[in-house]
Amino acid sequence: MARQANREAIMLEAVRADLAARIAAIDVKAPYTCARDLKPDINQIRLIAHRNGLNPAVTVAHFVDSALSRGEHGALVHGWLSVLGDAVACERQDVRACDAFAAACSVRLAS
């Protein structure tokens, strides 16, 4: 039982590392890329997060997609990716954590 839990924790950390690398890659190309060209990468992050139960990251990815749909690009995307990275790293996966990230994103989206 402990072995299984340890294996799952290691796999989840690998997923988080992969998502962090993907976010960093998007951050590097964001200043030179159209918003619509970033959307597939954000969708991939959302799907991976969803499959692995990283609920706050799923929530934030939806907001990032909305921001990109509004045409945010360049340096503005950096802030969104920072919030997404925080959501990926978040240890809590409950509704309250999702709500907290959603509130932060709503404030950012309204700015």
Give the pLDDT confidence of 9-19 residue by residue, as tens digits. 899 999 999 99
What pLDDT, on the 0 to 100 scale, is given for residue 23? 98
Angle 107-80-60 from CA coordinates, rounded to 5°: 75
Residue 41 — very low, low, confident or very high, per pLDDT cuts 50/70/90? very high
Q: What is the pLDDT of residue 38?
A: 95
Residue 32 reports pLDDT greater than 80: yes
Cβ contact 102:57 at 8 Å: no
What single letter denotes the amino acid at residue 13?
E
**Confidence bin at 109 (pLDDT 50/70/90):** confident
In the chain, % helix, strand, coil (3-state, to 5) comes to 85, 0, 15
What are the pLDDT digits (tens) for 45-89? 999 999 999 999 999 999 999 999 988 887 789 999 999 999 999
Task: Please check whether residue 61 is in contact with residue 46, taking contact to mean a CB–CB distance below 8 angstroms.
Answer: yes
To the nearest 10°, report the CA torsion of 20, 21, 22, 26.
100
Angle at 74 between CA 72 and CA 78, to 5 degrees: 90
